[in-house]
Amino acid sequence: MPLTLAPMTADQLARLRLPLEHSYAENLAAARHLSPEAARAESALQIAQLLPDGVATPGVLLRLALVDDVEVGWIWVTLPRPGGPSNPSTPWIHNIEVHPAHRGRGHAARMIGLVEAELARLGFDRLGLNVFADNTVAVRLYERLGFRVTAQQMSKPVGPPGPG
């Protein structure tokens, strides 16, 4: 049963967008130590900025992953644009998700492989992404697929100043 990618419709994006905003907000809250409210606001703002016209946003690939016409997940890739948030020559995975009932079957790797083939047909030779450090399953997958660290953000808590 081969996995295929199909362009996402506006109705499909509407169904998937709120769970995406919630999931991203949870990650933002943990990684950036934001309040849940601030993280939800930041998540909604970023997604709205990146998808101002939804599925019709120029330079955006929104694809549903299907196995035997059953939706198993989805992937969102933004093509580079001058002045964009990522490397101006590198397409960027903003989200990849395999629905819980379909995890552990290699679908994410196949989605990335199909997107890579689509990007190669469009003339691109690289693909980038960010991953939260505590998402060890995703980190291992990306490393196995040949992704390498090109930049790294780090933080640490600081306490109040000590007595002078």
Question: Using only C-alpha atoms, what is the Rg of the chain?
Answer: 17
What lies within 8 Å, CB to CB, of 40 at 6+ separation is: 21, 22, 25
Assess whether pLDDT exceeds 90 at residue 91: yes
| 3-8+54-144: CATH number | 3.40.630.30
Q: Are 62 and 13 in contact (CB under 8 A)?
A: yes
* pLDDT, tens only, 106-120: 999 999 999 999 999
pTM of the model: 0.84
Assess whether pLDDT exceeds 80 at residue 58: yes
Percent of the chain residues topping a pLDDT of 70: 95
What lies within 8 Å, CB to CB, of 21 at 6+ separation is: 40, 43, 44, 47
At 79, the pLDDT band (50, 70, 90 cuts) reads: very high
At 144, the pLDDT band (50, 70, 90 cuts) reads: very high
Q: Which helix (H) or strand (E) holds 73?
A: strand 70-78
pLDDT at position 161: 74
Q: How far apart (Å, rounded) are the C-alpha atoms in residues 31 and 164? A: 31
Range ranked top by mean pLDDT from 27-31, 67-71, 82-86, 125-129: 67-71
